[in-house]
Structure 1
């Protein structure tokens, strides 16, 4: 898989398939492999681009001067320019939706369609922000995510009823446990602070095109509950769907439902 140098760092991405371009933007603490079921299905008809967030997967460190999600959106626009892709359908889950919406607002002429999944474009509620920041401080000081913290962090991403011995759960836990100190301190923790101190975008949601926007949310998502999705869908004026039997990483907990919803949305966007 190739790399592009953006703001002096190597951004790792996948570019698979041909046809109209679809950009998959994933969650904090996950690499682009979280999209494996969707990449396989979508790349049969579309050109699928997926990327590793800074400090995640095989991407380089968070570039110096990266201070906000607007900076991430600008960096991904630079990747699209590098790939000579004029227009995309952007599918953003969690932080991928947070910076993805910023990209769509900054460069609406580059967007064919926008799918926001398990995300929220308002500010982080202050008690939650302080809680996450306390976790970041512990990780920064330890230089690792110790087992007691893994027992807190890992379940956040899944529905309450998931089997903690399942491969999905255990593989994610193992990836987090293996993150090196330098990566945690220089990229992962700062990226988390950027994410959870984001500015409020709710007042701008009426600038998104309701005809080309869809919201999806796991029906058991704990960090980004369905109530937030309903609030945003009302502000945009667009449809939303709840993903059955799914938590925050809804595309992996119910991949068939999510893939079908995305294929239907893409077919509608490219039917004319």
Structure 2
């Protein structure tokens, strides 16, 4: 499995296929495997890179110097430099979109296109931020995501009607339950605080290129509702698409719809 050392830690990624480069940036608490349906389809036509956030999947612990999502964007640019990729289409879901916008604003010359899925770059609403921070404190203190917390956290990611006995739901729950204390305390919790304590980028969305930007959102996304996607699309001046029958991880709840939309977007760019 390929790794690159960035800021003293091993960042894990996959690199599959040939053609114009596409960088897949995933959600908090998920690793690159969340993109499996898209990797299979896109890598038939494109060079697909998908990375694991610090402390997620096979990546190492979050580097000490990581203080904000701007640092995560800079670290992702380090990966692209390592791979000698000058230009890429970035597809960011949830926190992947949050730092993806920062990469787009800091290095616009590196992007052919930007797709933001189930994400929001405004500040986290204060009641939600405080609620998530209270969950992080419980996880940090106990060194585990307890069954009681799993009952709270896991449903956040899916549409309300999902079968809780489905493989998608149960596999995610099992992965979270198995996270070791050191990984939770050194990487998962700090990454969560950075994510939900982010600053406001809404005033800068007008700097993005509306011709090469697309927004998508699960029509039943609870943590990042469609109203946020509409707000951002209006500020950018770009189109947005709602993913039917999907919650926060819309690319896995309705994979064919998301894959088709990505292939259409990429086809128009390349």
Class of the TM-score when normalised by the shorter of the 2 chains: over 0.9
Q: In the comparison of the two structures, how many residue pairs are matched?
A: 270
> Following the alignment from structure 2 to structure 1, what is the Cα–Cα distance between the partners of residues 85 and 64?
26
Task: Give the 5 Å matches for 1:12-161.
Answer: 12-161=12-161
Q: Which residue of 1 aligns with 2:243?
A: 243
> Following the alignment from structure 2 to structure 1, what is the Cα–Cα distance between the partners of residues 18 and 165?
37
**Deviation string for 1:62-92 (max 9, x for gaps)?**
0011000000000000110000000000000
Q: 1:168 aligned to 2:146? A: no
Q: Which residue of 1 aligns with 2:234?
A: 234
**Gaps (5+ residues) in structure 2?**
none
4+ aligned runs moved over 3 Å, structure 1:
none
> Following the alignment from structure 1 to structure 2, what is the Cα–Cα distance between the partners of residues 199 and 110?
23
**Gaps (5+ residues) in structure 1?**
none
SS of alignment partner, residue 58 of structure 1: coil
SS of alignment partner, residue 214 of structure 2: strand
> Following the alignment from structure 1 to structure 2, what is the Cα–Cα distance between the partners of residues 47 and 86?
13
> Following the alignment from structure 2 to structure 1, what is the Cα–Cα distance between the partners of residues 2 and 228?
36
SS of alignment partner, residue 63 of structure 1: coil
> Following the alignment from structure 1 to structure 2, what is the Cα–Cα distance between the partners of residues 109 and 75?
17
> Following the alignment from structure 2 to structure 1, what is the Cα–Cα distance between the partners of residues 136 and 121?
21
Cα RMSD between the aligned structures?
Answer: 0.3
Q: How many angstroms does 1:156 deviate by?
A: 0.1
SS of alignment partner, residue 53 of structure 2: coil
> Following the alignment from structure 2 to structure 1, what is the Cα–Cα distance between the partners of residues 65 and 269?
36
> Following the alignment from structure 2 to structure 1, what is the Cα–Cα distance between the partners of residues 198 and 63?
18
> Following the alignment from structure 2 to structure 1, what is the Cα–Cα distance between the partners of residues 96 and 221?
16
Query: How does the TM-score come out when normalised to structure 1?
Result: 0.99
Q: Which residue of 2 aligns with 1:223?
A: 223
Q: Which residue of 2 aligns with 1:202?
A: 202
**Deviation string for 1:66-122 (max 9, x for gaps)?**
000000000000110000000000000000000000000000000000000000010
SS of alignment partner, residue 242 of structure 2: strand
> Following the alignment from structure 2 to structure 1, what is the Cα–Cα distance between the partners of residues 110 and 199?
23
Q: How many angstroms does 1:193 deviate by?
A: 0.1
SS of alignment partner, residue 116 of structure 1: strand
SS of alignment partner, residue 234 of structure 2: helix
Q: Which residue of 1 aligns with 2:260?
A: 260
> Following the alignment from structure 1 to structure 2, what is the Cα–Cα distance between the partners of residues 11 and 92?
17
**Deviation string for 1:203-242 (max 9, x for gaps)?**
0000000000000000000000000000000000000000
Q: How many angstroms does 1:48 deviate by?
A: 0.1
Q: 1:214 aligned to 2:210? A: no
